[in-house]
Each structure stands twice: as structure tokens, then as C-alpha cells.
Amino acid sequence: MSVTREAVIDKLSTVRGPDFKSDIVSLGLVSEIFIADDKVFFSITVPAERAEELEPLRAAAEQAVKSIPDVKGAVVALTAEREGGGMADAPPQRPAPRPAPQPQPRPQEAPQGPQAAKPGVPGVDAIIAVASGKGGVGKSTTAVNLALGLKALGLKVGLLDADIYGPSVPRLLGLKGKPEMVDSKTLRPMDAYGMQVMSIGFLVEEETPMIWRGPMVMSALRQMLRDVAWGPLDVLVVDMPPGTGDAQLTMAQQVPLAGAVIVSTPQDLALIDARKGLNMFRRVDVPVLGIVENMSYFLAPDTGKRYDIFGHGGARHEAERLGVPFLGEVPLTMDVRETSDTGTPVVISNPEGAQGKTYRAVAAKVLERLRAESEAGEAPAIVFE
């Protein structure tokens, strides 16, 4: 039997609210409930100043829903978008006792830089965000081929598809099926070409629209980072959604990003948005590893003649103007569409072709930049929790 909204509401009616008298459903704290592939998504409204204190309430609701027969998973977020009924006068709840701190493995040298204080992801040495200011510039294709390029250099690499609203990685890598559970809470990443992969696209059907508000997006990202058995990995490449919204801020604020790669096409319209993305990462103290100019020029398959369809060199000039590295010009070819649709990225299917060589060169430059940041003491130190 499939999971029903009524069954979820009945179970949530057993979870006491912060007043210890009424349940969270009757208090009006539960958002609209979204169910896809027997996985349940919803948020609980709480006052912003009590969000940390009420984390046990969120965990209790999550566990209650997971106990429903046929439920395969639950994503529950706390949100302070509005006050729910009965919350204003609710007495303060005593927070759950915290376990005694355990010795934590730390690097020999003290971490440096503003990103160093953020807890890392267990099993992951460095995290790279691949971002763009707008959609349609080939960001996901670049993220996939960059990750495979880094793997070709001998690194242990993972790929996280954080584009909640438009996950493309399962299609780009030809992955189907659902990830297995390591235990009741932890997912095992899928494998593609010897690379660990996780995407929200594995958890919902391809045609299912993700009609989520910011808190649910942020909660899903945290779970895909923290509740996945990553590692051991040298690098985790994160395919970010386009823009400068909740997902980008969550990544920048929740984990120590080693750097960001900005993807743009040559024309001015794309560069305007790419500039916004670059400036956002700078404002949250994430090093910008460089800019990639995708679809830099078109190579005709019959004659090999080059056409500058979108102009040419705009991203290189922008990188020079902003004082950030330029990582490379990726040409547009017919085979990139064909290989993307069939789940065989060009770094795998045609590593010696024009695109394959460029992506591998970009990966080498990114690795060089990562090492430079590490030697400068600005790379994040991963602290296992």
C-alpha cells in the first residue's frame, strides 16, 4: 500500500507540541505534506528564537513518520515563516541533554580561514561547489565532467547533485534505481564510473515537481550531506542549483567549502548572472577557484569549422577583470548532447576529444588551485563529529 496523507497526519497527531498539552497537528504547526515514492516531506513552524531548542521536536516528528508502515524516508524541517496556533504563549521546553563530548581527530596544525570553524562532512577531505548565476549554461554537465576529470587524476571523488528543483546528474550518469540504506538513517551513495554519487533525483520520480519552500530545500541538502555514507573521498564536487538563493547559502554556511567553480557562457547576459554568483561566494568567504567558459564556440561535426555562436572570450575577460583564475574554454560539440542523454560523459566516452581534453585540463587547474589554497592555509580542516 502507498503512504497516505491521512496516515501521516494521524501519526503526527501523537507528537506533543512545545506546550506539552496539544499535538503539533492541532496546534497548526505542520505545513502541507508532500509524498513522493513513499517518502514524506513537510516542515514544522516554530519561533525563530526557539529553533535550536526545538530540534528534538523535529527529530520526534521525523521518527514518528518513519515508523509508519511502507514509509521509506522522511525529510522534516523547522521553519519560522509564521507563528502557528498556540506558539506565542507556549512555555519554554527544556532542551534534551547533550552527550558527553568525545575526543575528536583534528589536524596537527590549527585550521585557518573563516571556513575552518565549520564542521566538515565525515569521510570527505574537501568540498567544491560548481555554480552558475543562471540556468542553461551547462553547469551540471561541467560538474559531472569536472568530477570525472579529478578522478582521472587519481583522486577519490564523490558527486552531490544539490539542484533540488532540477536534478540532472542521474540522467547525465545513466543511473537508475534507489540508493540502499546502510542503517535506519544513512544512505549508501550510488556508484558511477567508480565515483560516489547522490541526488534527490534518486529519491523521487523524474516527472515529480519539487514544490518546496526554502526550509525544506535546506533540510534536504543537510541530509544529503550528513546522512550519506560518503568516503573516504579526497574531493566532493557539488552541483549547485542556479542562482544565489537558499541552497547556495546553506552550502556556504553549513560546510567548509574549499572553493567554488563558476560556469558561464560567453555572452554578456550570462556573465551578468555569473558575476552575481561569484560575488555571493566572496561575501561568504568561499574562495573562487576560477571561471569556466562553457559553450565557448561551436565545432561543426562535418567540417571541424569553428563558429562563435554566443560570442567568445567573455568569461576570460571577466575573470581578468575580477582577478580570478580562468580555467578554460569548453567547446560546444554534437557529441556532448548525445553522450549526456545516454549517460556516458565525454571525459569517459571521448577523453581525447576537444571537450574531454578541455574538461581534464580544467580539472588539473582546479586541483592545482586546491593545493595552492591548502598551502596558503585557507583550505578547510575537516573535523569529524
Q: Return the SS3 of 7.
A: helix
Q: Return the SS3 of 328.
A: strand
Give mean pLDDT, residues 201-225. 67
Q: Write out pLDDT tens, residues 6-23.
A: 999 999 999 988 877 789
Q: Write out pLDDT tens, residues 239-274.
A: 987 765 566 666 777 778 899 999 888 876 667 767
pLDDT given for residue 282 in this prediction: 78
Asked whether residue 191 carries a pLDDT value surpassing 90, the answer given is: yes
Which regions of the chain carry the CATH code 3.30.300.130? 5-79
Q: Picking from 119-133, 181-195, 300-314, 356-370, which range would have the lowest pLDDT averaged per residue?
A: 300-314
Q: Select the highest-mean-pLDDT range: 64-68, 110-114, 304-308, 370-374.
A: 64-68
Biggest distance spanned by C-alpha atoms of the chain: 76
The overall average pLDDT reported for the chain is 78
φ and ψ at residue 309, rounded to 5 degrees: -60, -45
pLDDT given for residue 87 in this prediction: 36
Radius of gyration, alpha carbons of the chain: 22
Torsion of CA 271, 258, 151, 237, to 10 degrees: -60
pLDDT given for residue 211 in this prediction: 52
Which regions of the chain carry the CATH code 3.40.50.300? 124-375
CB 200 within 8 A of CB 164: yes
Which candidate, 112, 374, 103, places its Cα nearest to that of 234? 374
Q: Write out pLDDT tens, residues 72-127.
A: 888 787 765 444 333 333 333 333 444 444 444 333 333 445 555 566 788 999 99
Q: Select the highest-mean-pLDDT range: 16-25, 42-51, 224-233, 356-365.
A: 356-365
Which helix (H) or strand (E) element contains residue 42?
strand 39-45
CB 280 within 8 A of CB 244: yes
Share of the chain above pLDDT 70, in %: 77
How many CB atoms lie under 10 A from the CB of residue 311? 15
Asked whether residue 146 carries a pLDDT value surpassing 90, the answer given is: yes
pLDDT given for residue 363 in this prediction: 96
pLDDT given for residue 118 in this prediction: 62
Q: Which fold has domain 124-375?
A: Rossmann fold (3.40.50)
- CATH node for 5-79: 3.30.300.130
